[in-house]
């Protein structure tokens, strides 16, 4: 039993820097990814989810863990869960960041179980396509010339928040409805 405890402790200690690097790498990717990078200068805070896994066959779901920052300092953790219904097939992984324009927008997100409705859209930063970020519906496609230099037709906050995603891999065909639900746990 002691050997198992020692091995598990060693594993946890060795894996801790990798977890930190995962968040640092995601933040760096968003800083270098076109328009999302400019939000770091104006946002009061943000929540970053290095990897969200999504999949479905008719009924689908997505889940990921993230970290919440206020004025550049980690203040807590968050989990995102999504259930979707509609035509969908496949799986994908992506990173997501939600910028909070004001302390009130951050407080709304961290007040308990926060939920984006099915109409919420995000800027998809990929090798050539983006859409308008908002939390109130509507999407406007834009075209970009190269990897991670996407720009939007009209960027900005909607209801105090702006959402961006970076595709990591996978393929998913989807025409579905579903909202994203976020839980929040403050740091101790």
pTM over 0.85: no
DSSP 63: E
Instruction: Check pLDDT > 70 for residue 150.
Output: no
Q: How far is CA 160 from CA 6, 10, 44, 110, 147, in A?
A: 46, 42, 10, 13, 28
Pairing relationship of beta strands 73-100 and 180-186 according to DSSP bridges: antiparallel
Q: Going by DSSP bridges, is the β-strand pair 114-116/180-186 parallel, antiparallel, or unpaired?
A: antiparallel
* Side-chain half-sphere CA neighbours of 85 within 13 A: 0
Q: Give the pLDDT confidence score for residue 177 in this predicted structure.
A: 64
What's the total number of domains in the chain? Answer: 1
Tens digit of each residue's pLDDT (9 = 90 or more) over 30-61: 999 877 888 998 899 999 999 999 988 888 89
pLDDT confidence bin for 86, thresholds 50/70/90: confident
Q: Is the pLDDT of residue 138 over 70?
A: no
Q: Residue 34 is part of which domain span? A: 2-186
């Amino acid at each position: 039993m002691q050997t198992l405890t020692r091995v598990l402790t060693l594993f946890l200690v060795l894996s801790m820097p990798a977890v930190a690097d995962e968040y640092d790498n995601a933040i760096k990717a968003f800083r270098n990814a076109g328009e999302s990078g400019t939000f770091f200068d104006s946002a009061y805070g943000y929540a970053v989810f290095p990897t969200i896994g999504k999949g479905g066959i008719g009924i689908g779901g997505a889940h990921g863990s993230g970290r919440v920052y206020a004025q550049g300092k980690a203040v807590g953790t968050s989990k995102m869960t999504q259930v979707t219904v509609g035509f969908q097939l496949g799986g994908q992984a992506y990173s997501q960041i939600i910028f909070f324009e004001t302390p009130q927008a951050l407080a709304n997100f961290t007040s308990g179980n926060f939920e984006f409705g099915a109409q919420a859209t995000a800027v998809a930063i990929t090798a050539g396509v983006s859409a308008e970020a908002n939390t109130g519906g509507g999407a406007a496609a834009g075209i970009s010339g190269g990897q991670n230099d996407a720009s939007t037709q009209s960027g900005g906050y909607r209801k105090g928040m702006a959402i961006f995603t970076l595709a990591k891999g996978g393929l998913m065909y989807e025409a579905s409805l579903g909202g994203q639900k976020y839980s929040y746990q403050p740091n101790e």
